[in-house]
Every structure is written in C-alpha cells, then in structure tokens.
Amino acid sequence: MKIIIAGAGIAGLAAAKAMEIKGHQCEIYEQSRGPRLTGAGIFLLGNATRALNRLVELEPIEGLGRQIREQRIFSSDGKLIHAMSADDFWMDCGPCLAMPRSVLIQSLLSCLKHTKITYGKAVVDFHRTPTGVLALMSDGSSEEGDLVVAADGVNSWLRRITSGCRPRPLGISCWRTVTENVADISAWTAMLGRGRTLLAIPITADKAYLYADCRTSEVKNGAAQELKDMFRDFGAPLGCLLAQLDRSAEIHFGALEEVPDFRNFEEGLVFIGDAAHACSPSMAQGAGMALEDALVLAEIVSDTSSREPILRRFSQQRQQRVAWVRQQARARDMLRGLSPIVRDFTLKHLGDRLYNRSYRLLKGNLMDGTF
C-alpha cells in the first residue's frame, strides 16, 4: 500500500517505521522546515519502550536514555509521601526511560530506510477518489495514495476540517525546560503543593527535565520569573533546580489541552497520536499511545484476511486503551487538585494500589482489542 502521513512527530515517524517493517511505501509531509528537535524531555513507561523497541530494534533499548528505576512523590516542604519501584512494576514489559525529546525523534528518523520526508509542506485537505485517496498540500500540489494517516498533533487541521473537532483547554498551564541536575536526582521525582506540581526526571548523565504546572487562572504571563516566584516555597529535593534557572534557559510555556472524543467517518483517513487523543500528560502516555497506535495500525493495514474497513478495525482495537488512559489522566489531575491533607493521605496509603490500577492493564497484549 502507499501511505501518506501528515506530520513528522513521534506518531508520524513511528507509523512510517511500522509500515516500512510491513513492506508498505510511505511519504511523510511535515509543515515545519526541518525536524522538530526542541521540547525538553520525555518519559517513557514500560509499555512505551516495549513499542519503541519493536520499531528501532536497538539492543539494548536502555542505550537511548536514562533508566528510571523509581518514582517518588514529595510534599512541597520535602516530606516523602510515596515511593515505588518502576523497575519491579514494569519488569515483564519494558524499562522506564527518560531522554531529551530530540533523542527520541532522531532515533525514529535514523531507523527509517525507504520513507521520503518532505519538510515545509502541510497536508491541508483530503478527498476520496475511485481508486484511493488524494491529499492536498499547502503549496497546491497533491499526492495520491491508498491511505492518509493524520499524525498532525493536538491542533490537527485534518481533524478540524473533517469532523469540526477542536481541542479544549484543561485549565492547567505548564512550564518545561532542561536544566543542570544540581540536585543529583536519580528517580522520577514529583513535589506536590497546593494546586501546583513540580517534577524532575534525569535525562542524561548531568541534565534533568523539569516540569511545573498550576491552574491557568493563576498565571499572568508565563515568564521564567513567574515560574520561580510561584514555586519559591518548594524545598528540597527539587527547589534548587528552579532556583538556579537563569535567563538563558530555554523554557516552554503553554496551556494543556485535550482532544474530546470525536467520530471520524472518512474511510481512507486514520487519526493517530495527539491528533486522535491528546490528553493531560499526567499518565505520561502520549508518546506511548502514539507508538502503540503506529504498531497496531500497521498490523491492521497488513491483515488482508479481514474485509472490515481499516478505520473500524483500528478504532475497535484502540478505543478501550485510549479511553482508559484519558480517564486515568483525569483522575490523576483530580487527585492532584484535592486539598493537600486528603491528597497526601490518599497517596501515602493507597499510592501503590492507585498506580497498579492506572497502569496494570497497559502491560497487556497490544493486539488484544480489550486492552
């Protein structure tokens, strides 16, 4: 099959690789003028690295980033509330890894052998033809194929023109940056304050990915100084990471959005990654879901034994898993928003159980439509 992919983010590159493995021909169109190698760090849990391993075939996969063996949650004044072994939990699935986003994008790019990527061209429209599909590009050109994969992110234009669905704000805004790991953090480490979360994850030998969020209604301008002021009372272990941020730090600020459930009836057009199901990052599953989408779609496209349309089979396969992640991300955001006394008590006494409940099902077989 000839597959046209809109977007060269994690989802688009992963889809191209998964299709290549199955012997399909892919062309990616990316609106940016080159690979997008910015965006701080990314944390991949065991189900995500399991999927990634099938695409990049890197032995060992641990070479891509820092292995995260433990997840720890502290209160803003530095009391340990909950700790659990990520190693033990994800043992039978894959390692938990954290890395600069650019490393993930580069590794997906470098494993593509036959896919042509055209930068600086957006896919702006889609039509079905008697023999397949036609994608229209921003420069007026067009490309014929058998399937269009919309991997064009949370603000997907293709989703907007075919279903009218736009992302909606979650009421949370966040800052993301990469900083010197002066606190020598070795685990995934979160600190919870009143309506504020600060998170640091080591991504290389000496750098850490730093994430901070709060309610959008509390933010004035999102500047670095505002970030420092808002989290000034956060103590060890993470407070010093914020305190040492200087003016030269590249800090990304933005409001979090999610894509509401929407129906796509366009046979020949499939949405994957954030274009299909962006949600709160609280489950750290965005990249994982994008990688899984890619593998499942390639499997379905290549299965000629079924006469059911690709679109129906793909959504049946992914529906439950994606809905679960969205629901659990909302639940985690709600828990974070509770009063500190109730929240800390819940995490202290039920933390293991809540983690197990959120993630256990994601360790299951990808091609089992029930999870």
* Chain contacts with ligand FAD (rule: CB under 6 A): 6-12, 29-32, 36, 42-44, 48, 122-123, 151-153, 157, 174, 176, 256, 273-275, 281, 284-288, 290
154 in Cβ contact with 276 (< 8 Å): no
Q: How far apart, in whole angstroms, are the C-alpha atoms of residue 288 and residue 271?
A: 15
CA atoms of 233 and 210, how far apart (whole Å): 16
DSSP type of residue 281: G
CB nearer to ligand FAD: give 259 or 310.
259
CA separation for the pair 39, 178 (Å, rounded): 9
User: Pseudo-torsion of CA 238, 241, 243, 245, nearest 10°?
Assistant: -150
| CB of residue 222 to ligand FAD, shortest distance in Å | 13
Q: For residues 71 and 187, is the Cβ–Cβ distance under 8 A?
A: yes
Least separation in angstroms between residue 352's CB and ligand FAD is 21
Residue whose CB is less far from ligand FAD, 29 or 231: 29
Select 183 or 201, whichever has its Cβ closest to ligand FAD. Answer: 201
Smallest gap from residue 245 Cβ to ligand FAD (A): 17
Least distance from ligand FAD to the Cβ atom of residue 168, Å: 14
CB of 104 to ligand FAD, least distance (A): 9
**Residue nearer to ligand FAD on the CB measure, 11 or 269:** 11
Query: Nearer to ligand FAD by C-beta: 65 or 239?
Result: 65
Hunting for tokens 């790991």 — which residue is that?
Answer: 181
Smallest distance, Å, CB 134 to ligand FAD? Answer: 15
Q: Which is nearer to ligand FAD, 44 or 322 (CB)?
A: 44
**Shorter beta-carbon distance to ligand FAD: residue 30 or 344:** 30
State the nearest-atom distance from the C-beta of 218 to ligand FAD, in Å.
17
